[in-house]
Amino acid sequence: MTPVLIACSHGTSSLEGRAAIAGVVSRVRDMLPGVLVEEAFVDVQQPEIDAVVAGVPAGAASVVVPLLLSTGFHTRVDIARAVAAAPGPCVATPALGPHDLLAGLLAERLRAAGLGAGGAQPGAEAVVLAAAGSSDPAAEVDVAAMAELLAAHLGMPVSVGFAAGAGIRIGAAVAAARSAGARRVFAASYVLAPGHFAGVIAGAGADVVTDPLAPDDAVAAVVVERYRAALR
């Protein structure tokens, strides 16, 4: 039997956010015909990841793909605990980021929002990669790697700001970019879906804020890639 794909996201009380994540899962199902794709959550929503892993059909293997952008508490603790207690063969893949497909999507969103339009002088525009943040230092490392990928796509520096956890806050990163001479600051929303952190990013003072990543097909493509890599 083909291993079950368990797409595990954080969970949100935002109906718009729930729809965005459900859209990613639906697209993954389209991309993997014949694979059972289950949805699971670590908080707020049901079913919880432990219950979904425990309920995999007898004799079937499963692959948990975190619908999370960085390593953190939920990957190291919640998902790891569920995988360790699985009744059958079960593995968890890395988080979705950092990944070049996501960097390409962010670059596309920024250009569509006007970055680089009108021949702006060097230094007149700045980009802040705006992430949710985590208390886990590994998350900060992942986001820094993502900023490097995005900078390579854009051909310009990208700074980082966090809505919570360790590291510089998004508002402070925006202010620093202006102090360095930028007349227009873009916040590249490095969150999957509308919800609390997307709201924090929107209110952090950037001149332009891009939309959350989901349910773009690029996100689903990364989920599929993670699943297939686990099978290999």
Does 106 lie in the same domain as 91? Answer: no
Q: Structure tokens of 18?
A: 């729930």
For residues 197 and 156, state if they share a domain.
yes
Number of other CB atoms surrounding residue 176 within 10 Å: 16
Q: What is the pLDDT of residue 117?
A: 82
77 in the same domain as 121: no
Residue 76 and residue 43 share a domain:
yes
The distance from CA 4 to its chain's CA centroid, rounded to whole angstroms, is 22
203 and 136 in a single domain? The answer is yes
Q: Give the phi and the psi of residue 49 in degrees, each rounded to 5.
A: -60, -40
Per-residue pLDDT 10s for the chain (232 aa) are 799 999 999 999 999 999 999 999 999 999 999 999 999 999 999 999 999 999 998 889 999 999 999 998 888 889 999 999 999 999 999 999 999 999 999 999 999 999 998 666 767 999 999 999 988 888 899 999 999 999 999 999 999 999 998 899 999 999 999 999 999 999 999 999 999 999 999 999 999 999 999 999 999 999 999 999 999 8
Is residue 105 domain-shared with residue 171, that is, in the same domain? yes
Cβ(54)–Cβ(86) below 8 Å = yes
109 and 62 co-located in one domain:
no
Q: What is the pLDDT of residue 119?
A: 63
CATH number of the domain that residue 174 is part of: 3.40.50
Q: Are 133 and 57 contained in the same domain?
A: no
108, 144: one domain = yes
What pLDDT score does 118 carry? 65
pTM of the model: 0.95
What CATH code is carried by the domain that includes residue 70?
A: 3.40.50.1400
Tell me the DSSP string of 57-94.
PTT--EEEEEE-SS-SHIIIIIIHHHHHT-SS-EEEPP
Helix (H, G, I), strand (E, B) or coil at 15: helix
> Which DSSP letter does residue 95 get?
P
Shared domain for 75 and 144, answered yes or no, is no
Residues 82, 126: one domain?
A: no
Contact between 24 and 223 under an 8 Å Cβ cutoff? The reply is: yes
- DSSP tag of 3: P
Its domain, for residue 69, covers: 4-97+215-231
Distance CA 25, CA 105 (A): 18
For 12-47, letters b (16+ CB in 10 Å) and e give bebeebbebbbbbbebbeeebeebbbbbbbbeebee
Structural domain total, the chain: 2
Examine the domain organization and report whether 88 and 162 are in the same domain. Answer: no
